[in-house]
Amino acid sequence: MTEIRVGLLGLGTIGTGVARILIEQQVLISRRLGKNVRLVAAADRDLSRDRGLDFSGVRLTDDANDVVTADDIDLVVELIGGYEPARTFVATALEHGKHAVTANKALIAKHGEELFPLAAEKGVAIGFEAAVGGGIPCLKALREGCAANAVQSVYGILNGTCNFILTKMENEGADYADVLKEAQELGYAEADPTFDVEGIDTSHKLSILAAMAFGSKIRFDEVFTEGISKITADDIESAAELGYRIKLLGIAKPHGTNGNVERVEMRVHPTLVPVHSQMAQVSDSYNAVQVSGDFVEHTMYFGRGAGERPTASAVVADIMDIARVCSSDGGPDEVKHLAPAMGFVESERRDLETLAVADIECEYYLRLMVQDQPGVIASVTSILADHRISLEAMSQKERSEANSVPVIMLTHETSEGNLQAAISRIVGLQAVEEDVLILRKESAVA
Ligand SMILES: NC(=O)c1ccc[n+]([C@@H]2O[C@H](COP(=O)([O-])OP(=O)(O)OC[C@H]3O[C@@H](n4cnc5c(N)ncnc54)[C@H](OP(=O)(O)O)[C@@H]3O)[C@@H](O)[C@H]2O)c1
């Protein structure tokens, strides 16, 4: 039986999971592939830690360079994380004619556009299913299952930490800071949670999904990104009273004429979704991705977005996809039997513009702090009317001990530029505090 020989970089959470599957599911994998996947070597800075696995027959090293250049390895799995040295290790593996698989969304979002052409030049494959949605095979579904469609939108709850925090805030009426602390104690949030709670991790993933959906280049730096740290328990309650739940959503949509995609809308922010939608039911640390296409209509993929076993499952699925068509004794033509990594042949991927933030059209949730005195609300609504912004709903909370009271407004659709112009006039009113919370609403989620 032919085989593919694997070298692993990083024996942390996911690396250990991948090693576990390759060792414990060896027979199942061979039966599915008709060939063996053999773990030949693994590198980690700390080899003394007990991973509860029998590594006999596996070459262990603390120098990742030994793995990426070794002659007896066909496929390198990068599970170190971060930008560097992960980028250098993956690039070196590709340069040495090895296939690469990674779960590293930061790496693909930032350096994918240099790694894809390098892989193509060397006749090797690059897989990154686990980088988006953890164990959910959403990239394969988008790339292959939905290939017949012009994609009309992609929505995703892509960060388990944020979803866990928002769910707990809603269920317990608890404040953001308290829930974050608890999430950190439970290991759901990092000691430095910035990447997760400020939406950067979701932006990494959304930029990959958008490029795959619309045949564009990955433009992570251009994703409009806001995190969840300004959301209060009161906002969650107000949204619920209006029939909505707040989720950190990644949203991507195409813009153009005559069916040609010319610009790509990409945004990540806390979003009000209808409480009865499927997306609103995705709770705790679960993830979900909704892909809508012109023929298939709405499709939705749900599951564990992180964790050792689910994420390792997606990594090994990538290894198996490559192993199915490539083997130790194969040549560079073999990879042509794989679907293109980004769902479009490399020469057909376009360098599309990102839709300017001011041109984004959506409905808004506004939380204004206003002094409880006659005429203030009339002044605010008059400014909104000047900007042709109409209201779907409005509620004013009870007078608190402070002089200001929160006023919640839901607007109909308008552009971000128009809304911001109106807000800058509203905060100029003497009776309105400067700190306005702006959230966005999406009624089109399934
Ligand atoms: N954890 C998840 O649920 C999850 C889900 C989806 C995707 N991912 C992605 O999967 C990747 C791995 O995540 P993880 O959670 O497994 O991280 P992790 O637990 O921190 O594991 C990384 C391992 O790599 C080792 N390492 C770091 N630099 C190294 C180097 N230069 N040479 C050799 N070993 C090195 C680390 O050692 P030290 O501990 O000494 O630094 C650690 O053992 C990341 O890209 C992450 O974004 C993770």
Q: Quick one: pLDDT at residue 1?
A: 64
Q: Quick one: pLDDT at residue 118?
A: 96
Q: Is 408 in the pocket of ligand 1 (CB under 6 A)?
A: no
Q: Is 46 in the pocket of ligand 1 (CB under 6 A)?
A: yes
Fold of 138-303: Dihydrodipicolinate Reductase; domain 2 (3.30.360)
Q: Is 369 helix (H, G, I), strand (E, B) or coil?
A: strand
Q: Quick one: pLDDT at residue 336?
A: 86
Dihedral of CA atoms 262, 267, 273, 277 in degrees, nearest 10, equals 60
67 touches 73 (CB < 8 A) = yes
153 touches 444 (CB < 8 A) = yes
Q: Could you give the CA distance from residue 287 to residue 156 in angstroms, rounded to a whole number?
A: 7
Token output for 36: 């063996």
| Residue numbers in the chain where pLDDT is lower than 70 | 1, 399-401
Q: Atom of ligand 1 at shortest distance to CA of 10? A: 24
Q: Could you give the CA distance from residue 429 to residue 444 in angstroms, rounded to a whole number?
A: 34
Asked about 441 being catalytic, the answer comes back as: no
**CATH number of 357-441, picked from 3.40.50.150, 1.10.260.40, 2.60.40.60, 3.30.70.260:** 3.30.70.260
Q: Is 77 in the pocket of ligand 1 (CB under 6 A)?
A: no
Q: Is 122 helix (H, G, I), strand (E, B) or coil?
A: helix
Residues forming a β-bridge with 409:
366, 394
Q: Could you give the CA distance from residue 202 to residue 170 in angstroms, rounded to a whole number?
A: 21
Q: Quick one: pLDDT at residue 399?
A: 62
Task: Provide the strand spans (E) within 22-88.
Answer: 36-43, 59-61, 75-78
Dihedral of CA atoms 372, 375, 378, 382 in degrees, nearest 10, equals -120
CATH of domain 3-135+308-348: 3.40.50.720
Q: Could you give the CA distance from residue 312 to residue 310 in angstroms, rounded to a whole number?
A: 6
The domain locations on the chain are: 3-135+308-348, 138-303, 357-441
Q: Quick one: pLDDT at residue 401?
A: 63
393 touches 352 (CB < 8 A) = no
Q: Could you give the CA distance from residue 365 to residue 257 in angstroms, rounded to a whole number?
A: 30
Q: Which long-range contacts (CB under 8 A, 24 or more apart) does 353-358 make?
A: 353/262, 353/263, 353/264, 354/219, 354/222, 354/223, 354/263, 354/264, 354/265, 354/266, 355/255, 355/263, 355/264, 355/265, 355/266, 357/224, 357/416, 357/417, 358/415, 358/416, 358/417, 358/420
Q: Atom of ligand 1 at shortest distance to CA of 15? A: 16
437 CA distance to ligand 1 middle (Å): 36
How many Cβ atoms from other residues are within 10 Å of residue 123's Cβ? 17
Choose one of 80, 132, 208, 304 to mutate for the ligand 1 pocket test, by most ligand atoms within 8 angstroms of C-beta: 80
Residues forming a β-bridge with 257:
260
Q: Quick one: pLDDT at residue 188?
A: 81
Q: Is 10 in the pocket of ligand 1 (CB under 6 A)?
A: yes
CA-CA-CA-CA torsion sign (315, 19, 88, 46): positive
